[in-house]
Chain A
């Protein structure tokens, strides 16, 4: 499409909406996100061992390979250097359990990029967050191995439960300090709240992500989780636990804020963030699964076009 246009007028660039003004180009923003992910990657390697790097490398390599092959088949320009596929690869690896099989990781990366993104037409067209699509596929395909958690340690792998499954099935609560540092069982990148927050501050300072979605998610999780905690503090965890345990922060900062799959307008962003948090808390407290961030974000991704439709601001001068 762009080729035909460039023949008529080489200066005219046609791009997919939304046409949001930003000081960063897509490519620059994507590389900034990758930089923001570095603390989380380091924390995952620190807590689960340097060997976990093989999972991240496999995921990124297969994501890039899938993108290159599909772009080649469809005779489109190969756009690996815009970094979005690298982010998908890294994020997918970070939400997988430690010592996850490399073959399955590769399958997940292929599904994430192939079915999650390229089937819809590539970057900017996908409805669902590709990394989460890959994770959801793996969750359904290998339900046992994806819920086999190993304890963070520098020696041998010991299988353990995540703070959320301890909360759900044994009614035990992990200490907030451990959750903050990340010395608990869980997916590679989700355990260390501090590392994620460093990345979050970087992203907010550079203006790559909008503060509204994470803030809406955090506030509504505190309020909604707090209500249950006030009702029964012995049975339900306190709101801080909700924020720090599981993939909540990773989801709030790096996944729910995905440019492509989140709402365009301020009001929509609030609705989106609040709805995700309410679903997360409902799944965590009353659902069959210990963790619900992935499904909540995917579900709300599906609602984004509808949210955009109903929260579209009125154009100045437009009659009622």
Chain B
């Protein structure tokens, strides 16, 4: 665990272990709020904030939390930060807060956050936990931004509020409905999985060719 480089600790959440596309965690906010790109960004930033600070705190006190009540303790810590986010958003960005509705308080039960506490920050140091949280947050942000922009462009002709599709283009209403979220997410995951499958096949092929090579070397030696 310790010999993983710090950069990898951050970057694994962005691509290799992307919370949405690879781990398929936190589907509820992903599907519900990505009606527009700005909603997706706001949701991802709020979640990243909670993830980062709860990771740091839990990593700091990981040795004094009794194992039997760790989940309850994590939830309590996460809920504290969610309350902060919720109140700040209500005060500073009331419109965004209204658009995201109950999904901000629901960050408490987002499995990305609880999953990272249980899997990572309860076993690792503060610095690594913070990097891991930031990486996961970035991966979440990227996924939500992609989903939100596709749905916003096709469903409302706009991106971040600016019209980018011509008026001729008839908006696909389905894209801003829940069904559109499922379709977009499914197709995106299929597309990204195709890369992973190709990579795996290449690895397998190189393994087989390596094996054949060593085998022929051995038999050559025996002949000699």
Contact = CB atoms under 8 A, between A and B. Distances in A.
B175 A141 contact: yes
A142 B170 contact: yes
A142 B172 contact: yes
Nearest to B175: A141
23 contacts: A101-B170, A103-B170, A104-B170, A107-B172, A115-B183, A115-B187, A119-B186, A119-B190, A137-B174, A140-B173, A140-B174, A140-B177, A140-B179, A140-B180, A141-B172, A141-B173, A141-B174, A141-B175, A142-B170, A142-B172, A142-B173, A143-B173, A145-B170
Interface of A: 101, 103-104, 107, 115, 119, 137, 140-143, 145
Contacts of B183: 115
Given A119-B190, A141-B173, A142-B172, 4 more contacts: A115-B183, A137-B174, A140-B173, A141-B172
Interface of B: 170, 172-175, 177, 179-180, 183, 186-187, 190
Q: Is the interface of A mostly helix, strand, loop or mixed?
A: helix
Contacts of A145: 170
Contacts of B173: 140-143
A277 B99 CA distance: 41
The list of the 10 closest CB pairs from A to B, nearest first, reads: A140-B174, A141-B172, A141-B174, A141-B173, A140-B179, A143-B173, A142-B170, A140-B177, A137-B174, A140-B173
Among B172, B183, B187, B190, the most chain A Cβ lie within 10 Å of the Cβ of: B172
A230 to B, nearest CB: 38
Contacts of A104: 170
A142 B180 CA distance: 13
A103 B186 CA distance: 24
Nearest to B179: A140
A199 B180 CA distance: 36
Contacts of B177: 140
Nearest to B173: A141
Contacts of B170: 101, 103-104, 142, 145
A113 to B, nearest CB: 14
B78 to A, nearest CB: 36
Contacts of B172: 107, 141-142
A142 to B, nearest CB: 6
Nearest to B155: A141
A17 B190 CA distance: 25
A115 B185 CA distance: 13
